[in-house]
Structure 1
Amino acid sequence: MSLLKKPATQWVVLGLINAACIYALISSPISFKKNVGYHTNSHQWLEDQNQLNTEEYLTIGEDRLTLSAIESLNGKLRNATVSADIIRSNQGNLEIKIASTKLSQDSELFAIDKMPDLFFRRQYIGQEGSTLNYSFLPTSDDNTVCFYLHEFGRLRCMNN
């Protein structure tokens, strides 16, 4: 009789461990704070040895994501603001649909011969109705958010 109790006890313990793991996955906190502005600066060297400087701001609300960027190249500035509706949100993942894009006009900053890859990625982001998928990664700092943008293979970290 004691032989039957040991395997039953082991199965109960294993079941509790599995249930605890599933609960931890389901109830884990989202990796970003809603309605908080995140910010980052980046620098990219172009083929002609000029440097493109970018300052980005990201805010994620209940059902809206807004990304604003200021870029400078050779003393010229360009602004871009992208607003998107959140289609799906779950445990660190967001699927968004671009609702509107507002761009300042400066052909020098988006000269296709200087940065073709960057130009084509921006064409997709600027297209209303495009969908993007973000996966948020855990960070040790509550003031930092890191995400991977699947459509571009881009990893970005920002601070608030």
Structure 2
Amino acid sequence: MPGGDPVSLQRKTAVQWLLLSLINLGCIGAWLYSPVPFKNNSNFHTLSQQWLDDQSQLNTEEYLTVNANRMTHSTIESLNGKFRHATLTADITQSGNDALQVQVVRAKLSQDRELFAIEKTPELFFRRQYVVQEGSTLNYSLLATPSENTLCFFLHEMDRLRCMNH
């Protein structure tokens, strides 16, 4: 029979629906069990490396401090022996178990033309222009982690997922 055995097809469909249902239940459970991902005055840190189009390597070290009303996000980037520092201080305007919205109060940036070169990272350059403007609003989606020593978040305006540890 073309198209296969109808009983086999029904079984495959039932298995697919069962798997989709289990995935959905898992997502709902994770949403309901979203613990607060940080304690007041928590400090987090991460290191990352990114290969650019010209085969140079951008090394990034990030620090994040969060308390009830304020957040500070500091970044140190190095590229070809040159360093750039950026520190954003932001007031927390909305917070919940799974989201954080902040408004940038102060942005302090070092100057290095190579690290700001549009031709090396054009997409990142334009996103940064918004993020480092005083008064801009940033939206973080916080992801539940099994440890209070780890904070994972997605920064919507940078289209960036980060996990940081104490």
Please report the TM-score for the alignment, with normalisation by the length of structure 2: 0.78
CA distance in 2, matches of 1:28, 1:51: 35
CA distance in 1, matches of 2:35, 2:122: 38
Pairing 1:119–2:125 present: yes
CA distance in 2, matches of 1:137, 1:149: 11
Pairing 1:95–2:138 present: no
| Residue number in structure 2 paired with 1:85 | 91
Pairing 1:70–2:76 present: yes
How far is 1:92 from its partner? 2.5
Opposite residue 38 of structure 1, the aligned amino acid is: F
Please report the TM-score for the alignment, with normalisation by the length of structure 1: 0.80
CA distance in 2, matches of 1:77, 1:28: 37
The answer on whether the counterparts of 2:35 and 2:144 sit within 8 Å (CA) in structure 1 is no
Runs of 4+ in 1 over 4 A off after TM superposition: none
Unaligned 5+ residue runs, structure 1?
1-20
Name the SS for the 2:127 alignment partner.
helix
| Residue number in structure 2 paired with 1:61 | 67
Q: Paired residue for 1:158, among 129, 148, 164?
A: 164
Name the SS for the 1:119 alignment partner.
helix
CA distance in 2, matches of 1:93, 1:69: 21
How far is 1:28 from its partner? 5.6
When the two chains are superposed, the root-mean-square deviation of aligned CA atoms in Å is: 1.7
Opposite residue 122 of structure 2, the aligned amino acid is: P
